[in-house]
Amino acid sequence: MAGEWQIARIEEVAERVAMGPFGSSIKVETFVPEGVPVISGQHLHGSRVDDKSSFNFITQEHAEKLRNANVQCGDVIFTHAGNIGQVAYIPPTSVYKRYVISQRQFYLRPDFTKVLPEFLVAYFRSPEGRHKLLANTSQVGVPSIAQPVTYLRSLEIPLPPLPEQRAIAHILGTLDDKIENLRRQNETLEAMARALFKAWFVDFEPVRAKMEGRWRRGETLPGLPAHLYDLFPDRLVESELGEIPEGWTIARAGEIYDVGIGKTPPRKESHWFSKNPKDIPWMSIKDLGNSGVYISEVSEYLTAEAVERFRVRRIPANTVVLSFKLTVGRVAITDSEMLSNEAIAHFIPKEGNKVSAPYLYCYLKQFDYGSLGSTSSIATAVNSDSIRSIPILAPVETIGEAFDVFANKSFAQIRSKQRESHFLSQLRDTLLPKLISGEMRVPDVDKFMEAMA
């Protein structure tokens, strides 16, 4: 560690460390349409409290009664039960000036003359800081940090001079901002593609416009050039899915796709599993939940020996995958060759199938899986036969191609931005422990960035 850096206990650099309210203090019946927002775990996924997500609110009077759990700009919020280890601070740009934390949170109010909230968050998101934070964890029942307030106050952290804290926070914050910006751009691109899909293939807006006389040749309607209307029929017909455009067809997923299911080698043979990216990526439902449109990052890998011995099916790149057990309906597209566990199905097009991956992705994202029923009394699940029986609506080829012209471009941009975000995340995760420990000093960062470029 850098020679001039001090070591300080949290109680020496914090004005306050305090718990959230008792569980009975904030209940569903205490929520109101407007008032003081309540921070929960869903707002702590990044380094800054996410106030773009929806909040529950309590009244100003109720917040006054919970004054000890009121937080403000600059406060650092931790989760001490459930999804422990979450940490984020309320930035100066926060939408609200006052918040209340939930019963599973506690907070630290820094002494700004000694430590910056951005630096504290960076430290507790580093491997060293996270290890310290979770070292007093109890796994009995719901995972929790024992005596969180007392324990946090006792922790020692490295303490660079404020200018260096500010520089470290700026470097890491800039990377976080770029990653967040890419995520929001992708959300917009996906929303646009899915909105077009819904208009054409769920609501059948072009067909209804022609049926109701809202379109005449040479005119335009929002979202669709006039010449494309010629591709759509002017009549809906009855089908097993309800009314669909005349001339369109419905096929079972198993008729036009080789629907495969993943596999999990025996866990008792732990050597089949690894954390080595040189092995073959093996996705879980949790990985699907953490991915964007394309899935590339996984928490575990399988060795080639395990894949061969247990005949785990390889899933090609650009294949749509779907979770159908426990959490039903998570959908993604593989960014590279991957594997999956037995709770995930993958759809490999059969010969002659011209349905694109973006079309199938959008279709499965809006599909009603409740229509398949449940085959488990223990957890929500449908079996592989049900997945193969999913009815897939297929438009005439010209309309499918017209949709792909737009969707393929959008999905290519999404894929590129996700890859860039993944690179920036790896860069941030490499820099973080080096900067926080003093192993790498701020003047060395430019040289490191050049070497990574």
Q: What is the mean pLDDT of residues 18-46?
A: 89
pLDDT of residue 337: 96
Residue pLDDT, tens place only, 153-170: 999 999 999 999 999 999
What mean pLDDT value characterizes the chain?
90
Report the CATH fold assignment for 8-159. Adenine-n6-DNA-methyltransferase TaqI; Chain A, domain 2 (3.90.220)
pLDDT of residue 258: 96
Domain ranges of the chain: 8-159, 197-400
pLDDT of residue 378: 45
Q: What is the mean pLDDT of residues 343-362?
A: 95
Q: Enumerate the β-bridge partners of residue 157.
A: 8
Lookup: tokens for 208: 């209804």
Instruction: Give the separation between CA 133 and CA 269, rounded to whole angstroms.
Output: 31
Instruction: Give the separation between CA 72 and CA 80, rounded to whole angstroms.
Output: 19
Using DSSP's 3-state secondary structure scheme, residue 323 falls into: strand
Instruction: Give the separation between CA 17 and CA 320, rounded to whole angstroms.
Output: 47
**Region for 77 from its dihedrals, namely left if φ exceeds 0, alpha if ψ lies in -120 to 50, beta otherwise:** beta
**Region for 223 from its dihedrals, namely left if φ exceeds 0, alpha if ψ lies in -120 to 50, beta otherwise:** left
pLDDT above 60: residue 453: no
pLDDT of residue 347: 97
pLDDT of residue 384: 87
Residues in the chain: 453
DSSP element (H, E) containing 76: strand 76-79
Global pTM reads 0.85
pLDDT of residue 449: 57
Percent of the chain at pLDDT exceeding 90: 73
Q: What is the mean pLDDT of residues 46-55?
A: 88
CATH topology of 8-159 equal to that of 197-400? yes
Instruction: Give the separation between CA 19 and CA 68, rounded to whole angstroms.
Output: 8
DSSP code at position 221: B
Q: Which of 99-113, 304-318, 363-377 has the lowest mean pLDDT?
A: 363-377
Alpha helices by DSSP H, listed for 291-381, are 304-310, 357-366
Measured on CA atoms in the order 288, 290, 292, 298, is the torsion positive or negative? negative
Q: What is the mean pLDDT of residues 377-404?
A: 85
Lookup: tokens for 381: 């699940």
Whether CATH 3.40.1280.10 fits 197-400: no
Residue pLDDT, tens place only, 292-347: 999 999 999 999 999 999 999 999 999 999 999 888 999 999 999 999 999 999 99
**Residue at 144: amino acid letter:** S
Give all strands of the β-sheet with 331-334 in edge-to-edge order.
257-261, 344-349, 320-323, 331-334, 294-295
pLDDT of residue 223: 54
Tokens 């205490």 locate to 30
Q: Max Cα separation, the chain?
A: 78
Q: Which residues contact 3 (CB under 8 A, 6 or more apart)?
A: none
**Residue at 88: amino acid letter:** A
Beta-strand ranges (E) seen in 350-448 are 391-394
